[in-house]
Chain A
Amino acid sequence: MHILIVEDDEVARDYLAKALREVGHSVDVAGDGIKGLHMASSIAIDLAIVDRMLPKLDGLALVQSLRATGRKLPVLILSALGEVDDRITGLRAGGDDYLTKPYHMSELMARIDALARRGDSGNAENTAKLKLADLELDRMTRRVTRNGKKIELTAREFQLLEFMMRHSGQVVTRTMLLEGVWDYHFDPQTNVIDVHISRLRQAIDKDFDKPLLHTVRGAGYSLREDE
């Protein structure tokens, strides 16, 4: 992907650019809001990472201006602010996702991958059937089968699987799961998500040859065919 980083903190910006380049993305940078808006409007980029607190033009204003021109570019907003309502404000301004500092690079990577996919296949939301290898999930009938065999899941396990399948092949972090499946934005001190995942794993992987639900160390989980 071609990614634009608009961040005024040089140290953070440089590390972010380096990390993104290391995984194969091409990166452009801007150190203030005006330059960032200009670049976002003129260069062909696939995704923008915009810090909220920028000199010359505030991050949210940048995103709003971008949206006003009709640009459908996926935007991840980075913020060092107080939180709680800030996320909603950011998303309302036109951001597609919101990440507070400090963050783990793996978290950011997982989220931009998810954003890119969201941008690509606008139809993904509407497909009634999701499929990965021999695992099939039907949203309408709420039926899950693997290799033709029916799998019994609780309502929540179904939601969890649906989320993982929509992000199949990608890394999904615990925070993304808590947000996407439970709609919560907090830090549980106990490993609640891990146990939910291991239950799901029991249901879909235990009796079958190939494990699909993998743990990605230091990042989260991934539903994919190969190891």
Chain B
Amino acid sequence: MVFACGAALLLGVVDFAVSRIVDGSTDNLIEAEVQGLREQVLVLSRSDFIELIEQRSQDQDVRGAVYLMVDPQLRPVAGNVPAWPKIGSSDDKWIQFKVSVPFGDETREHEMRAQRFKLPGGYRMLVGHDVQERQDVKNLMMRGLIAAVVLTLLLGLGGGFWMGRRILAQAGAISAVATQIMRGDLSQRLPVRNADDEINTLVREINSMLDKIEQLTLGMRTVLDSAAHDLRTPLNRLQATAEGAMSGLAPGSAERKVIERVSTEVDHMRSTLDALLRIALAETGTVAREPVNLSELVASMVELYAPVSEERGIRLESTVAAGAEVQGSRQLLAQALANLLDNAIKFTPDGGRIRVLLRAPGGAPEVVVEDDGPGIPADKRELVLGRRVRLDEARKVPGSGLGLSLVAAVTKLHGARLILDDAGPGLRVSLKF
């Protein structure tokens, strides 16, 4: 829009300037001719003057010059203009008028510009020039200019459009890679082209930021590994020492019972440490990804837990849609599902029911585990996803309390949503991929 206005203004200015220059030079020509004739008329006799005019009128070498000499009654005496143009007041020096000029078999209207002046004896003289050509040139130039402007506009629009599309495509590529990165694949980088434009500069900056993030995450992984090592090594020694001591003690003896207790507690510590480490790994996203057959996973987990459910008098029902697949870690997903099923079994009373569903509406899988136990009150739902919370105050039921926390971390890692709901009665846990 702005460009269009600017273009129009430019055209206007050019038109004006060109007109002034061209007009100026024509006028000078006419003026010079007028001066010349004014001098001649003082020197020559009338008939000689008339002859001069005729000569000039017929002169083929001078194109476009027009002359007209008229008597006091405005009747043409000499010249190449058919009639005295009756326009303007007689005091106007300069006039413009049209004359029909033969052009091949046709006639054309030509624009003339002329000066009029008085001759002795009431005669009048008109000297001018054919400015049609000038007009034609001006028109041609204007057309040329307009064409140029239109072309520029089109190129501009086209170029803008094309650039816009390229930028959109680039933005699309960047967005796709960003999604991958958010999903935890820190090795990805945004595509860089060879050009030196702003987008590429931005992309390079983002890539070096990603380098730093990857470094930090790997650093975190190293810290986790160090922490793991520093905790597992003494635990291992404890376990080895306890087991070594037990082998020398009589079964059932008081001493052996004490050592067995130690061994059991080491087991608990190991279990808690494993869970914490898995949560930390899931949260830092430093886990390899692969295509996971979710249908197979859910079906086999249900099959794994079926006998123990039956043993507790709990009905385990399942509906598993086929062909559901996600990108991620099979082991972490299995652990998450196991935690959900463990919880469901723990909290569902005998004679109760657990439902496991896998739906994949439109290719977005959803896993639901539902029980009819006590459920989780709405105001506590956020809380249970934290590290240690367990609602069971009596602490009769064993477990480290990290179960749902891991489910939350694994869900996030896979770019899915975790939703806790009231199953009326009971808890419904949904994982929406």
Compute how far the CA of A81 lies from the CA of B233 in the bound complex, rounded to whole angstroms. 10
Q: Which residues of A contact B288 (CB under 8 A)?
A: 85, 88
Q: Identify the closest chain B residue to A16 (Cβ).
A: B240
Which residues of B are at the interface with A, using a C-beta cutoff of 8 A? Answer: 221, 224-225, 228-229, 232-233, 235-241, 243-244, 247, 266, 270-271, 274-275, 277-278, 280-281, 287-288, 300, 303-305, 307-308, 310-311, 329, 331-332, 334-335, 338-339, 341-342, 345-346, 398-399, 403
Query: Is B278 in contact with A83, judged by CB distance below 8 angstroms?
Result: yes
Which residues of A are at the interface with B, using a C-beta cutoff of 8 A? Answer: 9, 11-12, 15-16, 18-19, 22, 53, 80-85, 88, 100-105, 156, 182, 184-192, 194-196, 199
Given A82-B228, A83-B281, 6 additional A-B pairs, CB 8 A: A12-B237, A80-B229, A84-B287, A186-B334, A192-B307, A199-B307
Query: Is B331 in contact with A84, judged by CB distance below 8 angstroms?
Result: yes
Q: Which residues of B contact A199 (CB under 8 A)?
A: 307
Query: Please, could you name 12 A-B residue pairs with CB atoms under 8 Å apart, sorted by A?
Result: A9-B237, A15-B237, A22-B247, A84-B278, A101-B232, A102-B236, A184-B304, A184-B338, A188-B304, A189-B346, A195-B307, A196-B304
Query: Is A11 in contact with B271, judged by CB distance below 8 angstroms?
Result: no
Compute how far the CA of A16 lies from the CA of B308 in the bound complex, rounded to whole angstroms. 35
Query: Is A82 in contact with B277, judged by CB distance below 8 angstroms?
Result: yes
Compute how far the CA of A12 lies from the CA of B233 in the bound complex, rounded to whole angstroms. 8
Query: Is A81 in contact with B229, judged by CB distance below 8 angstroms?
Result: yes
Q: Identify the closest chain A residue to B344 (Cβ).
A: A190
Query: Is B239 in contact with A82, judged by CB distance below 8 angstroms?
Result: no
Compute how far the CA of A102 lies from the CA of B339 in the bound complex, rounded to whole angstroms. 22
> Which 4 pairs across A and B sit closest by C-beta, in order of nearness?
A80-B232, A15-B240, A101-B236, A195-B307
Q: Which residues of A contact B281 (CB under 8 A)?
A: 82-84
Q: Which residues of B contact A22 (CB under 8 A)?
A: 247
Known: A19-B244, A184-B334, A195-B311. A81 touches B228 (CB 8 A): yes
A171 to chain B, nearest CB (A): 15
Q: Which residues of B contact A184 (CB under 8 A)?
A: 304, 331, 334, 338
Compute how far the CA of A184 lies from the CA of B341 in the bound complex, rounded to whole angstroms. 15
Question: How many pairs, one residue from A and one from B, have CB atoms within 8 Å of each other in the complex?
Answer: 118
A78 to chain B, nearest CB (A): 9
Query: Is B342 in contact with A190, judged by CB distance below 8 angstroms?
Result: yes
Compute how far the CA of A22 lies from the CA of B303 in the bound complex, rounded to whole angstroms. 40
Compute how far the CA of A187 lies from the CA of B338 in the bound complex, rounded to whole angstroms. 8
Known: A82-B281, A83-B277, A184-B331. A102 touches B238 (CB 8 A): yes
Instruction: Tell me which of A85, A101, A185, A189 contacts B233 (CB under 8 A).
Output: A101
Compute how far the CA of A102 lies from the CA of B268 in the bound complex, rounded to whole angstroms. 11
Query: Is B307 in contact with A196, judged by CB distance below 8 angstroms?
Result: yes
Query: Is A191 in contact with B308, judged by CB distance below 8 angstroms?
Result: yes
Compute how far the CA of A15 lies from the CA of B248 in the bound complex, rounded to whole angstroms. 13
Compute how far the CA of A18 lies from the CA of B133 in the bound complex, rounded to whole angstroms. 117
Known: A53-B229, A184-B331, A195-B307. A15 touches B244 (CB 8 A): yes
Compute how far the CA of A53 lies from the CA of B221 in the bound complex, rounded to whole angstroms. 15
A180 to chain B, nearest CB (A): 13
Query: Is A15 in contact with B241, judged by CB distance below 8 angstroms?
Result: yes
B270 to chain A, nearest CB (A): 5
Q: Which residues of B contact A9 (CB under 8 A)?
A: 233, 236-237
Q: Which residues of A contact B243 (CB under 8 A)?
A: 15, 19, 104-105
Q: Which residues of A contact B241 (CB under 8 A)?
A: 11, 15
Q: Which residues of B contact A84 (CB under 8 A)?
A: 278, 281, 287, 329, 331-332
Compute how far the CA of A9 lies from the CA of B305 in the bound complex, rounded to whole angstroms. 39
Query: Is B235 in contact with A101, judged by CB distance below 8 angstroms?
Result: yes
Q: Identify the closest chain B residue to A8 (Cβ).
A: B233
Query: Is B308 in contact with A190, judged by CB distance below 8 angstroms?
Result: yes
Q: Identify the closest chain A residue to B297 (Cβ).
A: A184
B414 to chain A, nearest CB (A): 14
Known: A11-B241, A80-B236, A101-B235. A182 touches B300 (CB 8 A): yes
Q: Which residues of A contact B221 (CB under 8 A)?
A: 82
Compute how far the CA of A11 lies from the CA of B341 in the bound complex, rounded to whole angstroms. 39
Q: Which residues of B contact A194 (CB under 8 A)?
A: 308
Query: Is A102 in contact with B346, judged by CB distance below 8 angstroms?
Result: no
Query: Is B236 in contact with A82, judged by CB distance below 8 angstroms?
Result: no
Q: Which residues of B contact A191 (CB under 8 A)?
A: 308
Query: Is A182 in contact with B304, judged by CB distance below 8 angstroms?
Result: yes
Compute how far the CA of A182 lies from the CA of B301 in the bound complex, rounded to whole angstroms. 9
Q: Which residues of B contact A186 (CB under 8 A)?
A: 331, 334-335, 338
Query: Is A187 in contact with B271, judged by CB distance below 8 angstroms?
Result: yes
B372 to chain A, nearest CB (A): 18
Compute how far the CA of A192 lies from the CA of B341 in the bound complex, rounded to whole angstroms. 11
Q: Which residues of A contact B247 (CB under 8 A)?
A: 19, 22
Query: Is A85 in contact with B287, judged by CB distance below 8 angstroms?
Result: yes
Query: Is B277 in contact with A188, judged by CB distance below 8 angstroms?
Result: no
B129 to chain A, nearest CB (A): 93
Compute how far the CA of A190 lies from the CA of B312 in the bound complex, rounded to whole angstroms. 11
Query: Is B399 in contact with A192, judged by CB distance below 8 angstroms?
Result: no
B286 to chain A, nearest CB (A): 8
Compute how far the CA of A15 lies from the CA of B229 in the bound complex, rounded to whole angstroms. 19
A202 to chain B, nearest CB (A): 11
Query: Is A12 in contact with B229, judged by CB distance below 8 angstroms?
Result: no
Compute how far the CA of A105 lies from the CA of B267 in the bound complex, rounded to whole angstroms. 13
B409 to chain A, nearest CB (A): 12
Query: Is B236 in contact with A103, judged by CB distance below 8 angstroms?
Result: yes
Q: Which residues of A contact B224 (CB under 8 A)?
A: 82
Compute how far the CA of A86 lies from the CA of B305 in the bound complex, rounded to whole angstroms. 27
Q: Which residues of A contact B225 (CB under 8 A)?
A: 81-82
B374 to chain A, nearest CB (A): 18
Q: Identify the closest chain A residue to B271 (Cβ).
A: A187
A204 to chain B, nearest CB (A): 16
Q: Identify the closest chain A residue to B305 (Cβ).
A: A192
A177 to chain B, nearest CB (A): 11
